Amino acid sequence: MALAIFDLDNTLLAGDSDYLWGTFLTENHYVDVDTYQRQNEQFYQQYLAGSMDIFAFSAFQFAPLANTPIEVLHRWRETYLAKKIDPIILPAARQLIQFHHERGDTLLIITATNQFITEPIANKLAIPHLIATIPERVNDRYTGKVSGIPSYQEGKITRLNAWLATHHHDLTDSFFYSDSHNDLPLLNYVSHPVAVDPDPTLHRIAKQHNWRIISLRQCNQVVELNRNP
């Protein structure tokens, strides 16, 4: 049973769930709008450049979690999912997921985005396994700190290896789908790396390595995608 691993943001989704969470918070004035919006954009540009400090970003991202009661966070999240996430779930992504289900593969999302945001998204996509950056939680409150190793860049390999050990799985005939050059360590680690609507850096490297390049945003590729993953 092969492992099919998916990045989430700008791969299965036509957008970035982390960035959109920040947009949701500012649109509803749940945070200081000018300060949060400016920092959110700065971190996103750093991510695109591959220079983001994941611990600095997590401290920024987790501050609203730490400052808000859990029941309020859950209400916010339900609205966020309906308004920001449901419209950007790609139909072709659902077909790709279904293809791997029908193959009998084990499905896993691995994402740098935090678990509070991504766990319900994984459920919406019917992907049973998730590796995400974990916000520390003590006595039913978030602390604002990261628990363990963030699943970002090389950290994705560290977290994946721990997952493989506890789930008695390996990477034989494994797939990994991603849009980002930040995922090059893991793309180089699996049997079948696939660049999905890749950023310019990943597109160039994928072509150099003769990796498959696909689009989940162009419906005319869906049939070919399912026939030959």
User: Do both 102 and 157 map to the same domain?
Assistant: yes
Domain holding 185: CATH number? Answer: 3.40.50.1000
Q: Which domain holds residue 108?
A: 3-13+90-227
Task: Note the pLDDT tens digit of each residue in 113-145.
Answer: 999 999 999 999 999 999 999 999 999 999 999
Q: Is 7 a catalytic residue?
A: yes
Tokens in use for 8?
């989430």
Question: Is 0.75 topped by the overall pTM?
Answer: yes
DSSP-based three-state secondary structure for 166:
helix
- Compute the average pLDDT of residues 147-158: 96
- To the nearest whole percent, how much of the chain has pLDDT over 70? 95
Q: pLDDT at residue 161 above 80?
A: yes
CA dist 187 and 195 (Å) reads 9
User: Do both 66 and 162 map to the same domain?
Assistant: no
Tokens in use for 123?
């459920």
User: Do both 77 and 113 map to the same domain?
Assistant: no
User: Do both 30 and 47 map to the same domain?
Assistant: yes
Task: Note the pLDDT tens digit of each residue in 75-121.
Answer: 999 999 999 999 999 999 999 999 999 999 999 999 999 999 999 99
130-139, long-range: CB < 8 A, 24+ apart: 131/156, 131/159, 131/160, 131/163, 133/54, 133/58, 135/58, 135/62, 135/65
User: Do both 96 and 75 map to the same domain?
Assistant: no
Tokens in use for 152?
């970002």
Single out the catalytic residue among 7, 16, 105, 183. Answer: 7
Lowest mean pLDDT across 50-54, 64-68, 147-151: 50-54
CB-CB contact of 208 with 225 (8 Å) = no
User: Do both 68 and 134 map to the same domain?
Assistant: no
Final residue of a domain: which of 39, 56, 86?
86
User: Do both 105 and 197 map to the same domain?
Assistant: yes
User: Do both 96 and 194 map to the same domain?
Assistant: yes
Q: What is the pLDDT of residue 223?
A: 43
Count of alpha carbons within 13 angstroms of residue 120, beta-carbon side: 15
Q: What is the pLDDT of residue 69?
A: 96
Single out the catalytic residue among 9, 105, 183, 197. Answer: 9
Q: Is 53 a catalytic residue?
A: no
User: Do both 105 and 82 map to the same domain?
Assistant: no
Mean pLDDT of the chain: 94
Domain holding 71: CATH number? Answer: 1.20.1440.100
178-183, long-range: CB < 8 A, 24+ apart: 178/6, 178/7, 178/11, 178/202, 179/7, 179/9, 179/10, 179/11, 180/7, 180/10, 180/11, 181/50, 181/205, 182/47, 182/50, 182/112, 182/152, 182/153, 183/7, 183/153, 183/156
Nearest to 57 by CA among 18, 20, 8: 18
Final residue of a domain: which of 68, 86, 104?
86
Q: pLDDT at residue 48 above 90?
A: no
Count: domains in the chain: 2
User: Do both 69 and 108 map to the same domain?
Assistant: no
Q: pLDDT at residue 156 above 60?
A: yes
User: Do both 207 and 112 map to the same domain?
Assistant: yes
Final residue of a domain: which of 34, 51, 86?
86
User: Do both 30 and 103 map to the same domain?
Assistant: no
Q: Based on the number of CB atoms within 10 Å of its own CB, is 45 exposed (0-12), middle (13-18) or buried (19 or more)? A: exposed
